[in-house]
Structure 1
Amino acid sequence: MTAPADPNELKGEDWAGEMGVKWLTHIDRFEGMIAPIGDALLARASIAPGERVIDLGCGGGLTSLAAARDTGPEGAVLGLDISPDLIDEARRRAADHPNVSFVCADAATVALDAPYNRLISRFGSMFFADPYAAFTNLHGLLKPGGRIDLAIWAAPRDNPWMMELMGVARSHIDIPSPDPRAPGPFAFADLDYVRDILAHAGFSAPQVEAYQGEQAIGGPGATPDAAADFALASMAIGRALAEAGDDVLARARADLVTLFEEHYVPGKGVMMANKVWLLSATA
């Protein structure tokens, strides 16, 4: 087993830079992988015609466009993301949708001209350095009685797609256990922590629903080989394995292919179980 070159290799995610570029490079695969979760989030949110909606961490803008279909032309959707690369792609996609706009900004500090009715986020809310301050700012972007709807990952142990990938990586390199509340995909797995953040920010009446299903690693239809290449090219474990050398990377890739073969469903792809919290609260 090889130690990674940087002991913090899997901790930080620079969405304004490297991670935003990675997401854009693999955007169709990423979006295909989590599309069912976005659909579940929007179904639960039940956005009404005429509402003004913020899409936090909007990425390439697909959730923003979907929300805009619910608001209708009399409503409006504003997508916020810290990645200039992803905002450029979102603007390109929304060129023919006058009720959708995008701003590249840090949602923790952004100020908007007028308050909104709703805020949604598909995995865009867990990366703030100071979530207490960030959600206080988000609360100020909503009208009194406005609603937030978040999709956030449940604990890694409840997400075999992540646990099994990490198991492969850890069989080849040492990966230190991160602070569970450090900014990252699983920072909000502890619902008591999230409820405390929301209460501190002024939100009330939090409601939580569990979403459980399967997601196609590397997108629908990806083969085990394609899924392995996607995981190594787009996820933090790939960078850590690459730092350990070509031999380590090659062995880990072979193990990933073997893992994904066990979960491969012809016509669907590499299907692995997930668990997500769908959380709503009132401003």
Structure 2
Amino acid sequence: MTQTGPEALKGEDWAGEMGERWLASLDRFESMIAPIGTALLERAGYQPGERVLDLGCGGGATTLAIAEAVGPGGAALGLDVAPMLIARAKERAAAAGSAARFVCSDAATAQLDEPPFDRLFSRFGSMFFEAPVPAFTNLRTLLKPGARIDLAVWAHPRDNLWMMEVMGVVRQHVEIPPAVPRAPGPFAFEDLGYLEEVLTGAGFSGMDVATYAGLQPVGGPGATPDEATDFVLASMAVGRVLAEEGAGVRDSARADLAAMFTRHHRAGEGVMLPCKVWLVTAHA
């Protein structure tokens, strides 16, 4: 087994490599997490006329949905650090005739030439700040006093077998250090106590949490085990790690991933593995 350094899975360069990976598999990524986005949008319950900032909007699917909900009297602005994703989001909005708008900027420091927003929304876009308290403090300056925020963040990895099963296979081939608690990344806010500390430190209050639990279609609904495997290797940071170890390691891991996904494949549904998400609300 090859040993890999502690930076091996950092890979959160959303303005670069990770943004390109997301763009290359945009439809599969979005279809995987679409039910979670729908649940968060339903919880948010946007009304006509509201002004909403969509943090970490990616390819813009949630921003487009928000724009439809708030109507011509409202506003939906998607914010993301990845220029390639913002470009795709703008293309989608133009093709759909949507009023959704998009800005490429780092939310930790962004200063928008916009009136303050009534609401903030983020489907998995809030967990990657190097310094989360200052970042959320900056976001609060973009909101009206009392504005509500709605965030979706992954719960503990042990409750997200779609990730843990993949990591279990990968660790049979490459030695990867355990994740550092509270470090920027998908599971930065698995500990709700820590998230509340961050939000309180940034001036938000009244945190309330609902739980989303279900089955995650790895590689998107209907994906075969081979398609799910190709998705993981092409789109997730572990794919880069395995590629760096050479064809032999990568091919061996690929076979084991495909076998694992076969055990979780459901005809007509895809590769289905459990996931758990916190749907978090607070107020500025």
TM-score of the superposed pair, with normalisation by structure 1: 0.98
Cα 1:266–1:198, aligned 2, differ >3 Å: closer, same or farther? same
The equivalent residue for 1:69 is 68
Which amino acid in 1 is paired with 2:76?
V
The equivalent residue for 1:260 is 261
The equivalent residue for 1:84 is 83
The equivalent residue for 2:103 is 103
The equivalent residue for 1:45 is 44
Which amino acid in 2 is paired with 1:104?
C
Deviations 1:208-254 (A, max 9, x none): 01100011100111100010010011111111111111111111100
The answer as to whether partners of 2:212 and 2:278 remain within 8 angstroms in 1 is yes
Deviations 1:12-53 (A, max 9, x none): 410011100110000000001000000000000111110000
2:8 partner SS: coil
The answer as to whether partners of 2:64 and 2:98 remain within 8 angstroms in 1 is no
1:207 partner SS: strand
Are residues 1:26 and 2:12 paired?
no
The answer as to whether partners of 1:53 and 1:77 remain within 8 angstroms in 2 is yes
Matches within 5 A, 1:59-208: 59-95=58-94, 96-112=96-112, 113-208=114-209
Question: Runs of 4 or more off by more than 4 Å in structure 1?
Answer: none
The answer as to whether partners of 1:58 and 1:124 remain within 8 angstroms in 2 is yes
Within 1, Cα distance between the matches of 2:116 and 2:244? 46
Deviation of 1:98 after TM superposition, in Å, equals 5.0
Matches within 5 A, 1:192-231: 192-231=193-232
The equivalent residue for 2:3 is 3
1:120 partner SS: strand
The answer as to whether partners of 1:150 and 1:280 remain within 8 angstroms in 2 is yes
The answer as to whether partners of 1:150 and 1:278 remain within 8 angstroms in 2 is yes
2:220 partner SS: coil
Within 2, Cα distance between the matches of 1:43 and 1:85? 28
Which amino acid in 2 is paired with 1:53?
V
Q: How many residues were matched structurally?
A: 282
Deviations 1:234-277 (A, max 9, x none): 11111111111111111110010111001111111101100000
Which amino acid in 1 is paired with 2:100?
V
Structure 1: any 5+ residue segments left out of the alignment?
Answer: none
Within 2, Cα distance between the matches of 1:11 and 1:156? 16
2:190 partner SS: coil
1:183 partner SS: coil
The answer as to whether partners of 1:12 and 1:183 remain within 8 angstroms in 2 is no
Which amino acid in 2 is paired with 1:2?
T
Deviations 1:72-114 (A, max 9, x none): 1111100000000000000000014453100000011111231
Within 2, Cα distance between the matches of 1:22 and 1:237? 12
The answer as to whether partners of 2:162 and 2:274 remain within 8 angstroms in 1 is yes
Which amino acid in 2 is paired with 1:115?
P
The answer as to whether partners of 2:220 and 2:270 remain within 8 angstroms in 1 is yes
The answer as to whether partners of 1:12 and 1:184 remain within 8 angstroms in 2 is no
The answer as to whether partners of 2:13 and 2:19 remain within 8 angstroms in 1 is yes
RMSD, matched Cα: 0.9
The answer as to whether partners of 1:216 and 1:268 remain within 8 angstroms in 2 is yes
The answer as to whether partners of 2:11 and 2:237 remain within 8 angstroms in 1 is no
Structure 2: any 5+ residue segments left out of the alignment?
Answer: none
The equivalent residue for 2:236 is 235
The answer as to whether partners of 2:67 and 2:98 remain within 8 angstroms in 1 is no
1:94 partner SS: helix
